[in-house]
Amino acid sequence: MFHVQQTYKIVSSDIVIIPVFQEKELISSEIQKKFSGLESVFCSIKKNEDFEGKYGEVAYYHTAIPKYPRVLFVGMGKREETNNEIFRRIGGIVRKKCVAFKVADASFVLFDTMCKDAAIPLLQGFLLASYAYDRYRNRTKKHTKAFKSLYFITLHAPTQEEKNKIRETLHVIEGVFIARNLVNTPANDLTPQIFAKETQRFKKMKRMKVTVIDEKKLKKLGAGAILGVGQGSKHPPLFVILEYRSKKKNAKTIGLVGKGITFDSGGIHLKPVGHIETMKMDMSGAASVFGLFHILSKEELPVNIVAVMVIAENAIGPSSIRPGDVIKSYDGQTIEVTNTDAEGRLVVADALSYLQDRYKNLDAIVDIATLTGGCIVALGYDITGLLTNSEDLHRQLQAASEKTGEKIWQLPLDKDLLKTVKGEFTDLQNFTRNVKAMAIMGGAFLHAFIKNNIKWAHLDIAGTAWAETNQEYKSRGATGCPVRLMWEFLKVYR
Ligand code: BES
Ligand code: ZN
Ligand code: ZN
């Protein structure tokens, strides 16, 4: 990550970025006073009829002043219509312009009367848009000029709180990038064993504990659901338990579960062309937990966390689990595997049971899983599905969602649909024909593993963990969703 600093002194930089609302007169006094010598540029932008300050519009000028040789005006749209998400997107747009103009440093002008609270979302968008996955580029490296420094120019000297927020934002986005890198890594270079090895870095961090439960131990524990899913792969399944102990006395403990299928072939219910190609992303839930722990290694939280990353490969082969096979989950329920491609709910179920069995003091559990294609049909690629038994958790996650722009929408844990996962001759089955509410059925299956009404929320990120198109601050591939949302959620959890 590059250097980010808020300052009231003008620093020399390759480009000065000046946000302009559609009510153009707002560029006037303060900025003009501060940037002496730019009178002619301000005069031109006011006269420029092609630039109205509409959202995303840009106008670019060269100047004769060495300290700020280039000026970019960026349209913010109507002032009353702006919000944090607009700022985030503008940040992304500006970042892409910086690449196009090959600049190494930029000064973003933020005057108190213009957009006081915009710095953080602008920074988030700018940083998020800086991501590129180039691990495998050898001969085709993109020769983009390295970006070095971003300055926010404000009228006042930065307060400690503002500095803290910038530092935190950098750490959060690092966490997002780590999640994105893991998700983008192909399954041949991210087997369950490699994943477990990567988590060892948390061993040397303060207040953290890492435990790997390998296949042998899973057998001892009787975690038959994850074992069944993983049995077809030559890379055996495992749990990684990450624990964080807060400094805060009497802090509550939250349980997290991340689905980590390193590749989902569908198993014997093999996925068809068009659906299988991106299935290295089926470990996005576990990757987001990993990203969260990275942030935690740099920033403190007022809650304790116990996270189970449940890692396996859903492979097809002679020892794969068969449709119709019956397995026994960690908590002793029998499950007929009616569809080998509905493997996510099986592995997550065992992790949920393990958490509740081993940690009796959990205040709430949130699982994060790329669980169903049906969630994409219901909510598309920009909205995470939420299923929960707790109105509290719904409210708290919704608040975090509004802060971060990572949208969520609640789907009902309808009583009749809860019944659909009952087995014909077993306790449960993992898929029932003719039930079309796929995302809800997935949630209903997980619900069958929630004991004593503990507060639980399930985030179905099948659509949101992966972007099919380039957007302002998302690029095709892994999005790192919902790291930012979960961080906001945990930060205020009491
Ligand atoms: N990993 C998939 C869900 C998925 C689909 C994630 C598309 C991301 C993009 C999951 O394991 C799966 O295959 N679910 C099936 C369940 C069905 C067989 C009940 C689905 O949604 O089609
Ligand atoms: Zn599947
Ligand atoms: Zn899956």
Helix 119-128 vs helix 84-100: crossing angle, to nearest 10: 50
- Name residue, tokens 């020769």: 143
Residue 31 pLDDT level (bands cut at 50, 70, 90)? confident
Once rounded to an integer, what is the mean pLDDT over residues 167-171?
Answer: 98
Across 272-382, the runs of DSSP E, i.e. the strands, are 304-314, 326-328, 334-336, 362-369
Which two structure tokens, joined as six digits, stand for 19? 């946000």
Residue 70: per-residue pLDDT: 95
- Ligand 1, residues 278, 282, 459: which to mutate, most atoms within 8 A of Cβ? 282
Count each helix (H run) and each strand (E run) in the chain, helices first.
16, 19
Residue 38 pLDDT level (bands cut at 50, 70, 90)? confident
Helix 284-296 vs helix 483-491: crossing angle, to nearest 10: 50
Which among 31-40, 56-65, 114-123 has the top mean pLDDT?
A: 56-65
Cis-peptide, bond into residue 482, ω within 30° of zero: yes
Establish whether residue 370 lines the binding site of ligand 1, counting it when its CB lies within 6 angstroms of any ligand atom.
yes
Which two structure tokens, joined as six digits, stand for 279? 């299935």
Quick one: 5 exposed, middle or buried, by C-beta within 10 A (0-12, 13-18, 19+)?
middle
Residue 264 pLDDT level (bands cut at 50, 70, 90)? very high
Residue 112 pLDDT level (bands cut at 50, 70, 90)? low
Establish whether residue 344 lines the binding site of ligand 1, counting it when its CB lies within 6 angstroms of any ligand atom.
yes
Q: Side-chain half-sphere of 311: how many Cα atoms within 13 Å? A: 31
The DSSP secondary structure of 240-257, one letter per residue, reads EEEEE--SSTT--EEEEE
- Ligand 1, residues 280, 341, 346, 417: which to mutate, most atoms within 8 A of Cβ? 341
Distance from residue 481's CA to the centre of ligand 1 (Å): 17
Once rounded to an integer, what is the mean pLDDT over residues 412-429?
Answer: 97
As annotated, the active-site residues are: 271, 345
Once rounded to an integer, what is the mean pLDDT over residues 235-253?
Answer: 97
**Residue 57 pLDDT > 90:** yes
258 beta partners: 309, 368
Establish whether residue 339 lines the binding site of ligand 1, counting it when its CB lies within 6 angstroms of any ligand atom.
yes
Residue 193 pLDDT level (bands cut at 50, 70, 90)? very high
**Residue 116 pLDDT > 80:** no
Which two structure tokens, joined as six digits, stand for 238? 């495992």
Residue 39 pLDDT level (bands cut at 50, 70, 90)? confident
Total residues belonging to the chain: 494
**Residue 188 pLDDT > 70:** yes
Alpha helices in 15-138 (DSSP H): 29-34, 39-47, 84-100, 112-115, 119-128
Residue 25: per-residue pLDDT: 60
**Residue 334 pLDDT > 90:** yes
Of 33-37, 194-198, 220-224, 393-397, the least confident: 33-37
Once rounded to an integer, what is the mean pLDDT over residues 315-340?
Answer: 98
Once rounded to an integer, what is the mean pLDDT over residues 156-185?
Answer: 96
The DSSP secondary structure of 134-179, one letter per residue, reads -TT-SS----PPPP-EEEEE-SSPPPHHHHHHHHHHHHHHHHHHHH
Q: 432 with 419: CB under 8 angstroms?
A: no
Sequence-separated (6 or more) residues with CB below 8 Å from residue 258: 283, 285, 286, 287, 288, 289, 290, 307, 308, 309, 310, 367, 368, 369
Residue 195 pLDDT level (bands cut at 50, 70, 90)? very high
Element (H, E) at 184: helix 160-184
Residue 180: per-residue pLDDT: 98
pTM given for the model: 0.97
Residue 27: per-residue pLDDT: 67
The residue whose C-alpha atom lies closest to atom 16 belonging to ligand 1 is 342
**Residue 457 pLDDT > 70:** yes
The residue whose C-alpha atom lies closest to atom 22 belonging to ligand 1 is 373
The residue whose C-alpha atom lies closest to atom 7 belonging to ligand 1 is 373
- Ligand 1, residues 372, 417, 434: which to mutate, most atoms within 8 A of Cβ? 372
Which two structure tokens, joined as six digits, stand for 273? 């062309």
Residue 279: per-residue pLDDT: 98
Mean pLDDT, the chain, integer: 95
Residue 114 pLDDT level (bands cut at 50, 70, 90)? low
Which two structure tokens, joined as six digits, stand for 17? 């970025």
Establish whether residue 42 lines the binding site of ligand 1, counting it when its CB lies within 6 angstroms of any ligand atom.
no
Euclidean distance between CA atoms 396 and 123, whole angstroms: 24
Residue 35: per-residue pLDDT: 84
Percent of the chain with pLDDT over 90: 85
Distance from residue 372's CA to the centre of ligand 1 (Å): 4
**Residue 280 pLDDT > 80:** yes
Euclidean distance between CA atoms 239 and 357, whole angstroms: 15
Establish whether residue 222 lines the binding site of ligand 1, counting it when its CB lies within 6 angstroms of any ligand atom.
no
Residue 269: per-residue pLDDT: 98
Residue 16: per-residue pLDDT: 95
Residue 26: per-residue pLDDT: 57
**Residue 113 pLDDT > 70:** no
